[in-house]
């Protein structure tokens, strides 16, 4: 069963009896620790991470008097500490074109994220090319073209149902010929047939390596924060399908499930390159651990 949604600022509910007075101190006992664990699990932090974070907070403080305010601060510190090592923007390499393969299940926000990234890099003066590699979804290709137009970046497409690897090869050829800085390749997200998807991704990689043995330089996995713990299983799956090098977490606006990011950082240690905070072209932000921890703990 899915965990119950924790409202934003969920820690305000901790110590319900004293919630009107966050500075009132109470003994840090088993009851309080259990409440804390439950709240963290409800935020989708995952049981293992929630237990460890709670244990760290209890260490040296068990049986002593603490206030909700102090617990919040300690929790924010714990979370920021877990998140700091993974907060890293997409690295840019001197060798161009840098090839970024973008993977993730359909609906996770791949198309939108590619559009937002393209816009950011374009604004930074980079020459960007996009390849609409999900050739089986006409709607995805159309959508990517809309984003490309918005960002002022060319989108290479191929007829519906054609070989994505062949499109990727053409895109590499064009990106190299144009001296592009960045080539972003969208891919299919049909997890229903993993074997097909694995072969498709492997073929794309094989083909672009004919043009550059170091490509792809990044394999970005796009995850939807609102799916909570599913983001964990998706990461496991995509690590088997591709050589995932970093994450973008979308839809962090208006979800109480953001705790899954802590679980991801704790479990996989993959860099979080950016977060999606809305549907508009500018709604992609660098991941800031302290801001995130403050928002999560309310
Ligand atoms: P794809 O199938 O993985 O390419 O997913 P799309 O890019 O088409 O995104 C699926 C839906 O999620 C669309 O309605 C997007 O507008 C929406 N979306 C993507 N990123 C975000 C985000 O960061 N916040 C919000 N609120 N919506 C997003």
Report how far residue 77's alpha carbon sits from residue 266's, in angstroms, rounded to the nearest whole number: 15
pLDDT at position 42 is 84
7-to-38, 84, 251 alpha-carbon distances in Å: 13, 24, 16
Residue 187 known to bind ligand:
yes
What's the pLDDT tens digit per position in 96-152? 999 999 999 999 999 999 999 999 999 999 999 999 999 999 999 999 999 999 999
The pLDDT value recorded for residue 262 is: 95
CB-facing half-sphere around the CA of 16: CA atoms within 13 A: 3
Atom of ligand 1 nearest to the CA of 105: 3
Q: Is 111 one of the annotated binding-site residues?
A: yes
pLDDT at 15: 45
Q: Reduced to 3 states, what is the DSSP secondary structure of residue 91?
A: coil
What is the distance in A from the centroid of ligand 1 to the CA of 250?
7
Supply the pLDDT for residue 4. 44
Q: Which ligand 1 atom is nearest residue 107's CA?
A: 2
What is the predicted pLDDT for the residue at 273?
98
Q: What is the pLDDT of residue 3?
A: 43
In this prediction, residue 172 has a pLDDT band, given cuts at 50, 70 and 90, of very high
Which has the minimum average pLDDT: 7-11, 202-206, 230-234, 272-276?
Answer: 7-11
Residue 31 assigned as binding residue: no
Residue-wise pLDDT tens digits, 59-104: 999 999 998 889 889 999 999 999 999 999 999 998 899 999 999 9
């Amino acid at each position: 069963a899915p965990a119950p949604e924790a409202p934003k600022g969920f820690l305000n509910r901790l110590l319900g009896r004293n919630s009107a007075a966050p500075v009132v101190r109470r003994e840090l006992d088993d009851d309080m620790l259990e409440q804390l664990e439950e709240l963290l699990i409800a935020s989708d932090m995952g049981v293992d991470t929630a237990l460890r974070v709670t244990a760290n907070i209890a260490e040296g403080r068990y049986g002593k008097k603490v206030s909700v305010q102090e617990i919040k601060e300690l929790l924010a510190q714990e979370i920021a500490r877990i998140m700091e090592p993974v907060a890293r923007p997409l690295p840019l390499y001197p060798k161009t074109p840098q090839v970024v393969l973008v993977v993730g299940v359909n609906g996770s926000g791949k198309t939108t994220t590619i559009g937002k990234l393209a816009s950011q890099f374009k604004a930074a003066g980079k020459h960007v090319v996009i390849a609409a590699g999900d050739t089986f979804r006409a709607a995805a290709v159309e959508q990517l073209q809309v984003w490309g137009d918005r960002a002022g970046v060319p989108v290479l497409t191929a007829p519906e149902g054609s070989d994505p690897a062949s499109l990727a090869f053409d895109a590499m050829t064009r990106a190299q010929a144009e001296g592009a800085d960045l080539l972003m390749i969208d891919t299919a997200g049909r997890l229903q047939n993993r074997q097909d998807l694995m072969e498709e991704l492997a073929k794309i990689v094989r083909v672009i390596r004919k043009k550059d043995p170091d490509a792809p330089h990044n394999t970005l996995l796009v995850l939807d924060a609102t799916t909570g713990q599913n983001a964990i299983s998706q990461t496991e799956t995509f690590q088997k399908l591709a050589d995932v090098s970093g994450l973008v977490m979308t839809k962090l606006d208006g979800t109480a499930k953001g705790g899954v990011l802590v679980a991801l950082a704790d479990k996989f240690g993959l860099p979080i390159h950016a977060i999606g905070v809305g549907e508009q072209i500018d709604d992609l932000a660098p991941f800031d651990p302290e801001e995130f921890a403050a928002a999560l703990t309310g």
